[in-house]
Structure 1
Amino acid sequence: MIKRFIRLLVCFTVIFGVFLPQDIGVAANGTVTIAEDTVNVRNGPGLSYQLVKQAKRGEKFTIIKEQGDWIQIQLSGAKTGWVANWVVSKTSNGTTTTSSSNSNKSTAEANTNQLRVRSGPGTSFRIIGYLDKGQAVSVIDDNENWVKISASFGEGWVAREYLDFNNKSSSTSKEENINASIGTGFVTDTLNVRNEPSTTGKVIGKLTKGTTITIYSKGNNWIEVKYGNQRAWVSADYVQFGTEIQPTNPTNGTIGTVTASSLSVRSNFSLNSDIIGSITQGQKFTILEERNNWFKIEFKTGKIGWAAGWYFSKDKPNTTQLAKDSKVTILHNGTNIRKDPTVQSNVLLRANEGESFPISSVENDWYEITLPNGTNGYIAGWLVTTNGTGPGIDKQGAEAYLSSKTIVIDPGHGGIDTGATGAGGTLEKELTLRTAKLLSDKLKAAGANVFLTRSNDSFLPLPSRVRMASVHQSDAFISLHYDSNLDRSVRGTTGYYYHDYQKKLTEYVYNSTNAQTRLKSRGVRSGDYHVIRENTRQAVLMELGYLSNSAEEMTLTSGQFQENAATGLYNGLARYFKEQ
């Protein structure tokens, strides 16, 4: 009986060994040696997989198998990870090959002059170098808006739109589109969205004034845009081209001095507009108008053009100008004006969008302003814009406050739990993960220890999400969501806390995010949600907008909103830790 059982067991082993599907990876042996200063090890063979650890130059690992351009390696204990073959040298059968210089390595070229390279994926990170047009760099990592590159001065991040890729297989966007976008625009009035480029086309939705849209094509005075999960058309008459277009700021004769060795003057406030002249370092010009950090100047007698404002230094206003001209303008309805420069201070009154107040002084991240009754109050700098010769808030590098902090990011829903479904078909579970990954990249670049409760489309019970905050002893737990309502006119962002000790974190994160995204403010509220109620750590749940509102859904799914939301969340965390 025993011998018969053994024979059957052997037969089953042979059969399963022959007919079971084989792993798609190619088995390998040997070792790899890290060839770059820092290399990301991921939990899968691709740039979109979650970071497992960072390996340093010279570290050696045993190869498990290879799959395409990726190598699976043995880490400590039973852990494994994947590295790109272009950042390691491989030793097999006594022969060493250096993959970091082979043709598999992804490269790109700058498509504009004086392209800023930053220490992290966002404009709030410090500038560490510049690229000239045509300068080639190696691609190390990327997300939908930013690319991590290696250049002669080291590693850094640049905006994706200013790079042309030579190896499309590993550096195109994770959300590939049939047509690449040609830019962004700003809706100037309520606008019908149609299913074809004609006034006879069916109206499938509306866009509100101020909505930022991604543009895919333009023709016959119609613009092709993404609306929900489909392509649609809007009239070009109600769209202003450019990224993050802001209202004109009167400059009252402010003088700007050129800091770049040579700077192009363009016909409009965009890098896509025509070059109509050039100016050189040290020249001074009166700034006639300012839009989206571009300066309108008279660069020659009778000739007006636009130049990039980040290559100018402004002459500081004197104190009499400051007292006379400087004002703040409120960005959102119901904005708190407080007695002292802290979010814990008593509220003196609430101001609404568009109201302006004279500036008396600046204290850290707060403006002291003069109220209508002649008394003074304070307002957070991230809730207002300034005009006249108003001083800007000195925003210190966020990296200093986030370095070594442990942050757990919880992309809401996942797997069988899709969350809300948008008017145009957007799934909440997909959008929360998209936002979480952008935020994660920013926090990691600042030196934070970041953990995602999920890094792919998987289901995770609520208690398991909370447990991660406890296991990692997180300094902050941030749960990301998008809202829905049967009333499709409802819109805006909301921040939730449950325990009183979570309120301060919620206020900082909410205020910063809402100011950055500029959606309708629904405020900070107490909410009975499991991930904050059962959480003994600092925690906040953010509802970042309403997918059920078709116009807002389009805004929420745009690359510009996703970048702004991640930036606002990042800045809010930094401000919170700054005050600790």
Structure 2
Amino acid sequence: MKKTSILLLACYILLAGSLLPLREASAAAATTAGIDSLNIRSGPGLSYRIVATVKKGTALTVLSESGEWVEVKMPGGETGWAANWLLNRNSQSVAVSSSVDNLRIRKGPGTHYGISGYLSKGQAATILEKSEEWTRISSNTGNGWVSSQFLVLSESTGSKQATTTSPSSNVVMKSINADILNVRTSPSTTGSIAGKLTLGTKVEVLQEKNGWTQIAFSGKKGWVSSEFLSSAGTSQQPSGLASGITGTVTATALSVRNHGSLNGKVIATVNKGQKFTIIEEVNNWAKIQVSPGKYGWVAGWYLKKGVAGNNQTGQQVKDSRAVILYDATNIRQKPSLDSKVIERANKGTEYKVKKLSGSWYELELKGGVSGFVAGWIVEVSGTAPQINKEGGDAYLKNKVIILDPGHGGIDNGTTGVRGTYEKSLTLRTANTLYHKLSAKGAKVMMTRDRDTYLSLASRVGAAHYHGADAFISIHYDSNADRTVKGMTTYYYHSYQKKIAEEIQVSTANATKAKDRGARYGDYHVIRENRQAAALIELGYLSNAEEEMAVLTNHFQNAASDGIVNGLARYFKNK
């Protein structure tokens, strides 16, 4: 009887399985959540609001990518954006081959890592992930990291892409006539954002419905407001973002690249003092118009931003939201520090942005009431520009700042779960910070600019010898408890407390990392230092999730921006 029951049960399971709908095939476009409680956001960045949270291992379908962010479709059909470094990507990735003979495969993303194999010219490989100028690949001769500049797309990949770009003769094509236009999953402003298109982009028109047009772009479909489409032959004069934000070059000679990355091909060079309208910004890279009809990307940290003209009062912005950065932030009746306070908001509160009025945002409050907040104390997402307090650079100009990348040479510092050496990461962060501070007029020096050992006494000696206005020692942390994460800034003397507090608050806000506060710490480089000095631990390499996060370009840029802004506030209030 027992055997008969088991047999009947097995038959039932097989029959039921044959009647269930097949799961959506997602071969090369499949991924899973790599951590518990993965946040899915409304757009490609940490400033966008969280629309859902999924558990580790949840199957997701990749729809598109933007920088280090991936647009995904969740099991219930909803869409959103997730950080690439927190996903377990499907190994069926982009096929590439080596453009040179004996391309070294290394154990990590850098020339200081050991060699684990070689690729011969033309040998095929599969991309697993990217980290700035390095790419992790899988091949028949070994897995590891190779220099991205020596990889080319496989012929099969290129031909496949080429076949999707030539429209048939009866296809209706139109051009985007907005600077940045949201593409949505449904014909409504409540539809999820499926992508963003820039001025002049040509798209295929599929159908029109109630003032909305369904289009095809990059192999996908979506809906846009019909008012922002023009006939493909209509010429459009580029005007940059609706914000009218400009950027003045601060570097002596700045490379313009064909995409926003150091891996991008240099297509032009612009010089110090030249001013351009910023068309788009992604991960601290800015898109500019170099000459009529010619566009390119430049490193945003070499641009001094400003507002073009004086006609910004009351300018409308679309699909933008502002997040309050500090507790007890004043929201005023008018865009002025002298205006009446009508509401106070705490850190993390989010509002819809209605208009840009000079350097103030008009917010939509409860009950449809409007209020104004100073642009430099909120973080915005969408098409609205991020406003920085005017004159901030002046507080950094001519300041002597010593950057101290922790460890080096025979002293590796801590080693991360994935094998990251602290000494390499601190140098990378310091280099990024060096360029950003220099661009703002600071006199910046580094205790080391290569992988060499330096005594603690000599690091402190550099601060005393140069009479540093600020000494910043950069580190990454470790803990036996691998769940511990976050950033901490340390001071030893009372005269160091203020600089530590300003840097901690600003950097934690910029990176969205767990804020562990500014604390007393007995470390040689601050204890023996007569100057304003702080030691910042930017994250825990012992935490696998945090190690992946701090390795990204996004974090490195955000952390360096935070330290720069913290120093500016310190010097201003000193």
* TM-score band w.r.t. shorter chain: 0.3 to 0.5
TM-score (norm. length: structure 2): 0.44
TM-score (norm. length: structure 1): 0.44
